[in-house]
Amino acid sequence: MDKNFAERRRRELLLAACLAAVAALVPLFVKDVYVQNIMVLTLMYAALSQSWNILSGYCGQISLGHALYFGLGAYTTALLFTKFGVLPWFGMLGGGVISALIAMALGYPCFRLRGHYFVIATIVIAEIALLLFQNWNWAGAALGIDIPVRGDSWLKFQFTRSKLPYFYFALALAAVAWFVTWWLEDSKWGYWWRAVKDNPDAAESLGVVVFNSKMGAAAVSAFLVAVGGGFYAQFVSYIDPESVMGFQFSLLMALPAVLGGIGTLWGPMLGAVILIPLTELTRSFIGGSGRGVDLIVYGTLIVLISLARPTGLIGLFSRQRKAAAP
Amino acid sequence: MTAETIIQSLASGLLMGLLYGLIAVGLALIFGLMDVVNFAHGEFLMIAMYATFFLFAFFAIDPLLAAPLVAAALFVFGAAVYLLVVRFAMRAKANAGMVQIFSTFGLAIVMRGLAQFFFTPDYRSITHSWLGGKTISLGGIYLPEPQLMGALVSILAFVALYFFIHRTDFGRALEATREDNGAVALVGIDKNRVFALGWGLGAALVGLAGAIMAMFFYVYPDVGASFALIAYVTVALGGFGSVFGAFAGGIVVGLVEATTALVLPPSLKSVGIYAVYLLVVFVRPRGLFGSI
């Protein structure tokens, strides 16, 4: 069985490498800027959801406040660049570190809360941060920050003429988030997290330090989401509190994982590949007259999936695999 | 800041707090009954406000008269949501917590989308209702009549709820099901029926609140979101599931909000409420009035 397990993990790594290689070739054939834009967003949400999944899926601490880390990443990157001329690369890393530290500081009191008390605490904390940023004049308050264009370069991570560099960065981010999950899944952390999710009391009695393993999951999760936030700030080159720290981001990070399969390696990827293009396409096809149709479509999807397939769409694939190779 | 402004804002805070209690009590009732948080609670409030608005706009029915109609409609709606969605969510064997959260969250998103689609994202308001814009002066303190009526309705609703829970068969069945929903089957109580009625009652209460609020708040598709968060805080403060904890929690939230607005800029007034929530659950992880 051990051998099978190692074999399966190797195969998963190979599959991921193949998928990434194929994805990297797609822009050579798809030149349409609108479609490229959707692909960038899809990869970004795949990365975000994959990161969210570490804390909420694997460790079972459902956070609906991850917009906080996304916003912190975006703001750190944008503020460091516009106020001090620090390159976005350092901004993204700095935002990641700040977010990881804040996640642990918040985790210290929050991880004692269970169930709904925890979920509501995450919403409330992100909401407080949103209100503070909306009133923080130095950081542009509710008007936000316009990131000045200083010419296309990888050094400044700004590209006005082509979406491709953003595409490749988003692809790399999604790949890193996937790889971190893959790697942690089979580390002692991965086992701790699943034990904490299934039964924290039993885990504690078996010597898992529940509190520390939650802290670890929160830090990794927040770091990756913040890097995504920094990327988003560069990608859209204009941020304001509502557009990077609003509740909808917390939700948009959670939904792909829920749809694809919460607490699974491939769930967030699958969910993002279905959900994000679907949302963007319904939005543009139906257009301004039918505002809200995108909400109706993915809200319905979420209700149906969570009722009919609580383990997510990824379950469909694993069943087939089992049937094919008994 | 004079003593008068302080008393004035505390009085407004108290009135708003009583209304917060009424908004939150349905959530507390449902949670107490079956350990489920309805994440579409704010959207229940939203459709109640729209219903009141349209009854006024098309049939010139004043919100005060519309309130019982809206509450009755919401009762049916709440029971239907239980029978069509929540009943199935309760059966989930894998990821039970996640399923409960996201099935009602998904419903909230659908309801918001439908409201945007059919009613457009425009802000609507009811002008010239019987009480709209009128105020009463009590020793130099000005109290707007719609809010005063809201507070009165809230108190009456809680009194009625008290008698309902303690003096009627259905109320007793509700209490018994809350205690042990397996054992009630042995004495001939249909658990599903009690749950459906519980959802109906919870929705009817938030419907009542929505009808009152349509008199003095804008009605728009996202209106539920901010009030829902306040309702969760209220319910958590009161100790999840405690119906009368929601009443006390509402008053606390109203007063904290009013006090915050005195000290901080108005745009930050919700920060006080959220901070109090965090403070309370960090010190008492089961809320102010919750039993351990």
Question: How does pLDDT run across B266-280, given as a tens digit for each residue?
Answer: 788 889 999 988 988
**Of B6, B211, B9, B225, nearest to A248 (Cα)?**
B225
Half-sphere exposure of B218 (CA within 13 A, CB side): 9
In angstroms, rounded to a whole number, what is the distance separating the alpha carbons of residues A61 and A158? Answer: 36
* DSSP element (H, E) containing B275: helix B269-283
CB B20 within 8 A of CB B276: no
Contact A307, B99 (CB under 8 A): yes
Residue of B nearest to A291 (CA): B117
Retrieve residue A30's tokens: 């798809």
Question: Looking at residue B291, what is its pLDDT?
Answer: 52
Domain that holds residue B214: 3-283
Query: Which residue in A324, A13, A24, A8 sits closest to A168, CA to CA?
Result: A24
Average pLDDT per 10 consecutive residues for chain A, totaling 326 residues: 78 90 87 88 95 92 94 94 88 94 93 86 94 90 84 78 86 94 90 86 83 91 95 91 90 90 91 89 69 84 87 73 43
Q: Do B274 and A125 touch (CB under 8 A)?
A: yes
In the three-class reduction of DSSP (H, G, I as helix; E, B as strand; rest coil), residue A125 is classed as helix
Structure tokens at A183: 């790697």
Q: What pLDDT was estimated at residue A290? A: 58
Beta pairing partners, B143: B136
Chain A neighbors of B117, CB-CB under 8 A:
290-293, 296
Residue B292 lies in a domain: no
Which of B120, B267, B275 has the CB atom closest to A135's CB atom? B267
Tell me the C-alpha distance between B147 and B135, whole Å. 9
Q: Which residues of chain B have pLDDT under 70?
A: 287, 289-292
The pLDDT, as a whole number, for residue B292 is: 40
CA nearest to A265, candidates A13, A6, A22, A24: A13
Q: Which of B105, B108, B271 sits opposite A131 (nearest CB)?
A: B271
Residues of A in contact with B115 (CB under 8 A): 292
Closest chain B CA to residue A299: B106
A31 and A92 in contact (C-beta within 8 Å)?
no
Burial class (CB in 10 A: 0-12, 13-18, 19+), A244: buried
> CB–CB of B95 and A247 under 8 A?
no
Which residues does chain A have within 8 Å of residue B120's beta carbon, measured at their own beta carbons? 291
Q: Do B240 and A117 touch (CB under 8 A)?
A: yes
Does any domain span residue B29? yes
B206 is a domain residue: yes
Residue A161: predicted pLDDT: 75
A290 interfaces chain B, CB cutoff of 8 Å: yes
Q: What is the pLDDT of residue A318?
A: 66
Cβ contact B101–A119 (<8 Å):
yes
Is B289 within the bounds of a domain? no
**What pLDDT, in 10s, does the model give residues B3-50?**
888 888 899 999 999 999 999 999 999 988 888 889 999 999 999 999
CATH number of the domain bearing residue B214: 1.10.3470
Q: How far is B268 from chain A (nearest CA, A)?
A: 6
- Shortest distance between the Cα of A78 and any Cα of chain B, in A, equals 24
Residue B122, judged by CB atoms within 10 A of its CB (0-12, 13-18, 19+), counts as exposed
Q: What is the predicted pLDDT for the residue at A1?
A: 52
The ipTM assigned to this model is: 0.86
Q: CB–CB of A113 and B265 under 8 A?
A: no
Residue B172 inside a domain? The answer is yes
Residue in B88, B113, B277 nearest the CB of A292:
B113
- A142-171 in b/e form (b: 16+ CB < 10 A) is eebbebeeeeeeeebbbbeeebebbbebbb
Nearest-angstrom CA–CA distance, B112 and A223: 32
CB B219 within 8 A of CB B115: no
Q: Specify the pLDDT at position A325.
A: 40
- The size of the A-B interface in CB pairs under 8 A is 137
